[in-house]
Amino acid sequence: MNIQSIKGLVQPDRVHRAVYTDPTLFELEMARVFGRAWLILGHESQVRSPGDFFTTRMGREPVIVTRHTDGSVRVLVNRCAHRGARVCETAAGTTAEFVCAYHGWTYGTDGRLARLPLPDGYARPAGESIGGGLARVPRVEAYRGFLFASLAEHGPPLAEFLGPLRTSFDDFVERAPDGEVEVAGGVFKHAYQGNWKLVLENHNDTVHPAFVHASSIWAARQEPAAAEGAYSEIGVRQMLQNGAPWEVWENTGLWVAGYGHSWMADYHDDSRLVAALAHPAFAEYRAALEQRLGPEGAARVLGELRWNSIAYPNCSFMSQFRQLRVVHPIAVDRTVVYAYSFRLRGAPERMFRDTIAFSNVVNGTASPVLTDDLEVYERTQQGLGARGSDWVFLGRGQGRDLPDREGTRRGRSGTSEVHIRNQFAAWLEYMTAES
């Protein structure tokens, strides 16, 4: 597909359905979007000490993220340099080396070939012939402990790529009394039969909850208030919050920035869900935070009301609720999302229990809330297969967006589809850039 025809797929207020359904475009996306952008891998707490590793994907590329003996983080392609077997089968662990199951070629945590059987059997050292060892992902950087990598040799540095979205990561980390967060509590892996873009377009879509989540909102509204401290309190309140009146969604802040990023803020002031308020469960936490930041600093941090933040194209996170979702495209109509929870270091354990209760209802594979999102992604994918109509309309708020600080734009209302138009603007740049 040539550049001109790709350009024709994205117009100011609409996109062609092929961007969700065409397998050829999907292959191009893997090379040009996922092959170029900074992709989130996870968090440094997953590889705290030398030898620690975890496996994940960058787009469809299987990788191993390791902490090498010199303390640096390396990202290695999980594919033996000999005849191609996957080298590491474990989701996470600690090791001195990776031994290939097939013929025993053995690699260090920096990917270098350490030894192989029968090394004399080659005209020149085998290591030389294969370029040293496992292929290394060329660029790896972290921001506030969040690990990113890029499959491209060249591109903007991470800080420039994230731009003003850095403030959402700052918010994530600043909330910890010790100034550090860590991955904990297991990872959900939920999947759907639909394109990877659908989930990223949904997370800052404030019109959908009233319709997609109508049944869980309705069911939760019939519940009497729970006893103080009941486990279900977090889940029921989140379901109710989805049923907020239109004026709440209209007045929510929705910002977009370069490279397709966006975030929602000034939302969600429920007195039990949010870690800012006078609820008894939070008193100890607030005190711990004040230890580090002082009363004004703590009030500033806790007064920040962010909801979803999206680092396009594979990262969606909730700083306030300590959730990170990593999007893995599998095929044009198949996507897997890994959802992680984080512990605020130095906060009372009660805070982490709230995080888990929240993750179960928002990211749980059988959640009364998430299952309806997944259902709608699948129906959208099916609908987009129809040939009767080629265009997907993204016009809500178009022409009314407001320029804002640091080169961002803001939807005039929180229900604007500006975040989706902004994602497609970035998509088009990646897809049509020369190299």
Where along the sequence are the contacts to ligand FES (CB under 6 A)?
Answer: 80, 82-85, 100, 102-105
Binder of residue 85, out of ligand FES, Fe ion, other proteins, none (CB less than 5 to 8 A by kind): ligand FES
Q: Which is nearer to other proteins, 28 or 356 (CB)?
A: 356
Binder of residue 281, out of Fe ion, ligand FES, other proteins, none (CB less than 5 to 8 A by kind): none
CA distance 418 to 125: 55
Where in 372-391 is the site for Fe ion (CB under 5 A)? 373
Closest CA to 17 of 290, 424, 433: 424
Q: Which is nearer to other proteins, 212 or 420 (CB)?
A: 212
Q: Which is nearer to Fe ion, 109 or 309 (CB)?
A: 309
Q: Which of 2, 4, 49, 222 binds other proteins (CB under 8 A)?
A: 222
Q: Which is nearer to ligand FES, 80 or 275 (CB)?
A: 80
Token pair recorded at residue 119: 């090394």
Q: Which stretch binds other proteins (CB under 8 A): 102-110, 208-216, 260-268, 421-429?
A: 208-216
**Locate tokens 């918010």: which residue?**
171
Q: Which stretch binds other proteins (CB under 8 A): 4-12, 82-90, 261-269, 373-381?
A: 373-381
The neighbouring-strand residues paired with 187 are: 340
Binder of residue 193, out of ligand FES, Fe ion, other proteins, none (CB less than 5 to 8 A by kind): other proteins
CA distance 137 to 79: 12
- Bridge-based pairing of strands 253-256 and 61-67 is unpaired
Binder of residue 371, out of other proteins, Fe ion, ligand FES, none (CB less than 5 to 8 A by kind): other proteins
Work out how close the CB of 312 gets to other proteins at its nearest, in angstroms, rounded to a whole number.
22
CA distance 42 to 148: 7
Q: Which is nearer to other proteins, 11 or 382 (CB)?
A: 382
Binder of residue 251, out of ligand FES, other proteins, Fe ion, none (CB less than 5 to 8 A by kind): none
Contact letters (x/-) for other proteins, 340-369, by CB under 8 A? -x-------x--xx--xx-xx--xxxx-x-
Work out how close the CB of 31 gets to other proteins at its nearest, in angstroms, rounded to a whole number.
24
Q: Which stretch binds Fe ion (CB under 5 A): 216-224, 316-324, 368-376, 423-431?
A: 368-376
Q: Which is nearer to ligand FES, 134 or 428 (CB)?
A: 134
Q: Which of 10, 39, 149, 236 binds other proteins (CB under 8 A)?
A: 236
Work out how close the CB of 118 gets to ligand FES at its nearest, in angstroms, rounded to a whole number.
11
Binder of residue 83, out of ligand FES, other proteins, Fe ion, none (CB less than 5 to 8 A by kind): ligand FES
Work out how close the CB of 124 gets to ligand FES at its nearest, in angstroms, rounded to a whole number.
18
Work out how close the CB of 229 gets to other proteins at its nearest, in angstroms, rounded to a whole number.
11
Q: Which stretch binds Fe ion (CB under 5 A): 130-138, 225-233, 254-262, 365-373?
A: 365-373
Q: Which is nearer to Fe ion, 241 or 422 (CB)?
A: 241
Token pair recorded at residue 110: 């920096």
User: What is the 3-state secondary structure of the chain?
Assistant: CCHHHHHCCEECCEEECHHHHCHHHHHHHHHHCCCCCCEEEEEHHHHCCCCEEEEEEECCEEEEEEECCCCCEEEEECCCCCCCCCCCCCCEEECCEEECCCCCCEEECCCEEEECCCHHHCCCCHHHHCCCECCECCEEEEECCEEEEECCCCCCCHHHHHHHHHHHHHHHHHCCCCCCEEEEEEEEEEEECCCHHHHHHHCCCCCCHHHHCHHHHHHHHCCCCCCCCCCHHHHHHHHHHCCCCHHHHHHCEEEECHHHCEEEECCCCCCCCCCCCCCHHHHHHHHHHHHHHHHHHHHHHHCCCCCEEEECCCEEEECCCCEEEEEEEEECCEEEEEEEEEEECCCCHHHHHHHHHHHHHHCCCCCCCHHHHHHHHHHHHHHHCCCCCCEEECCCCCCCCEECHHHCEECCCCCCCHHHHHHHHHHHHHHHCCC
Work out how close the CB of 277 gets to Fe ion at its nearest, in angstroms, rounded to a whole number.
24
Cα torsion through 198, 203, 206, 209, rounded to 10: 80
Contact letters (x/-) for other proteins, 248-267, by CB under 8 A? --------------------
Residues that bind other proteins (CB under 8 A): 184-193, 211-212, 214-216, 218-220, 222-223, 226, 230-232, 235-236, 239, 336, 341, 349, 352-353, 356-357, 359-360, 363-366, 368, 370-372, 374-376, 379
